[in-house]
């Protein structure tokens, strides 16, 4: 085990991590490689996670969630990602959707959807990205016009790279509510069984293989106006606030993968001999592991800072989330890749689990806003501040 993962935690956090670790060890660890190979979406395991409250981690207790802090959530996602980053990452998406509904939904729509989402009786996906817009979310083309019945929207357009598409029961869709731009972007929930919603082929991916990724298309999809989350035109704010937490969550998944790879590397260095010496006796290996542990610890501090900042609603929470996402996903991918190098040919084999961590973590540098976009967010905040001083 990498040093003492409980060292800086309070008693409640230790209990949370111990129960999460046990759940992951019993339900995810034995199956992760098989799920990856077979591209299997483990719905029953997600339902078990929902029964433990892991589908509404930072949803308030009054809305049926656990009411935990963003830091607590980060610790949970790291622990789950130690077993499988892809499985943990999908839970982060589901939790983000649950939080959006809890934080912005009115009483009527919460009563309709929230308890099922928190129990994971209904699995949720988040639909923001489009094929032609990518990181430029404001350029989306999916639109909703008022239907002739005046109580529904008629939705047309498509969303790309949607995790859980085709398997999820509800879709939190960001779209433009009028032909003109005056009303901006809104968020609406679309049920899987709605007429007019369809799903493309399952994309063949480098990693995250145990969750489907498909295009979600809307062709005259009629959805009640009452399914709006928040007010009309509030969707961009909802999406961006959701992404602040999503960036911390995905960084936390990278931490779990990195810690797994470090533990594997330490064990391997203690067991493997080359030229009559254990690997740990070679200075090059010593320095590699020293750097891996140091970078992991630094990355974890950045995630903790961002999580506390978001929890406290600090004015700089968006930039701290961007910093954490940029630094941590880069650093942890490097750690996983270095672990593969330490293991040599064995690291390249599927059975050791290292190559899966490398594949799963690579996309973390792209999603929730690419790391290049994170640099834009950070630099604009810093340079803009200097210009005003």
- Provide the H-helix boundaries in the chain: 11-27, 32-38, 43-51, 70-83, 85-104, 107-119, 235-271, 283-311, 317-343, 354-362, 371-388
Beta 124-127 vs 170-176: how paired, if at all? Answer: parallel
Report residue 29 as tokens: 């660890």
Catalytic residue status for 368: yes
Q: Among all chains, which residue has been given the structure tokens 């598409």?
A: 165
Question: For the residues of 356-371, what is the DSSP string, one character each?
Answer: HHHHHHHGGGTSSS-H
Q: Is the separation of the CB atoms in 245 and 310 below 8 Å?
A: yes
Gyration radius of the chain's alpha carbons: 21
Per-residue exposure over 275-302, b if at least 16 CB sit within 10 Å of its own CB, e if not: eeeebeeeeebeebbeebbebbeebbeb
Q: Is the separation of the CB atoms in 161 and 130 below 8 Å?
A: no
CA 101 – CA 247 distance, rounded (Å): 18
CA 42 – CA 51 distance, rounded (Å): 15
Q: Among all chains, which residue has been given the structure tokens 């433009």?
A: 176
Three-state SS for 107?
Answer: helix
Q: Residue 93 contacts by C-beta under 8 Å, 6 or more apart in sequence?
A: 124, 125, 126, 163, 164, 246
CA 109 – CA 180 distance, rounded (Å): 26
Report residue 330 as tokens: 């880069």
CA 76 – CA 90 distance, rounded (Å): 13
- Which position among 38, 311, 368, 389 bears the catalytic label? 368
Q: Among all chains, which residue has been given the structure tokens 């145990």?
A: 210
> Mind telling me the catalytic residues?
368
């Amino acid at each position: 085990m990498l040093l003492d993962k409980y060292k800086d935690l309070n008693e409640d956090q230790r209990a949370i991590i111990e129960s999460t670790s046990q759940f992951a060890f019993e339900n995810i660890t034995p199956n992760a490689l098989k799920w990856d190979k077979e591209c299997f979406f483990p719905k029953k395991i997600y339902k078990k996670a929902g029964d433990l409250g892991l589908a509404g981690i930072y949803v308030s207790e009054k809305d049926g969630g656990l009411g935990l802090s963003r830091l607590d959530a980060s610790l949970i996602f790291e622990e789950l990602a130690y077993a499988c980053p892809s499985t943990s990452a999908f839970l982060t998406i589901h939790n983000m959707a649950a939080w959006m509904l809890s934080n912005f939904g009115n009483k009527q729509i919460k009563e309709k959807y929230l308890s099922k989402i928190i129990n994971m009786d209904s699995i949720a996906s988040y639909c923001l990205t489009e094929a032609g817009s990518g990181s430029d979310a404001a350029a989306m083309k999916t639109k909703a016009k008022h239907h002739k019945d005046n109580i529904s929207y008629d939705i047309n357009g498509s969303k790309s790279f949607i995790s859980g598409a085709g398997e999820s029961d509800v879709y939190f869709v960001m779209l433009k509510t009028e032909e003109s731009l005056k009303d901006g972007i809104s968020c609406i929930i679309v049920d899987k069984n709605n007429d007019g919603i369809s799903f493309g082929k399952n994309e063949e991916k480098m990693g995250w293989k145990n969750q489907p990724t498909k295009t979600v298309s809307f062709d005259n999809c009629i959805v009640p106006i009452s399914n709006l989350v928040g007010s009309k035109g509030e969707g961009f704010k909802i999406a961006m606030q959701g992404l602040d937490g999503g960036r911390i969550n995905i960084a936390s998944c990278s931490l779990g993968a990195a810690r797994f790879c470090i533990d594997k590397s330490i064990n391997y260095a203690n067991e493997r001999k080359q030229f009559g010496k254990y690997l740990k006796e070679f200075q090059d290996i010593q320095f590699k592991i020293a750097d891996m542990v140091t970078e992991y610890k630094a990355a974890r501090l950045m995630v903790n800072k961002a999580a506390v900042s978001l929890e406290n609603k600090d004015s700089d929470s968006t930039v701290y989330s961007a910093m954490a996402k940029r630094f941590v996903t880069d650093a942890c991918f490097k750690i996983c890749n270095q672990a593969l190098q330490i293991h040599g040919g064995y690291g390249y084999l599927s059975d050791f689990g290292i190559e899966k961590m490398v594949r799963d973590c690579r996309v973390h540098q792209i999603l929730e806003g690419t790391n290049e976009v994170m640099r834009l967010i950070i630099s604009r905040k810093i340079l803009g501040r200097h210009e005003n001083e």
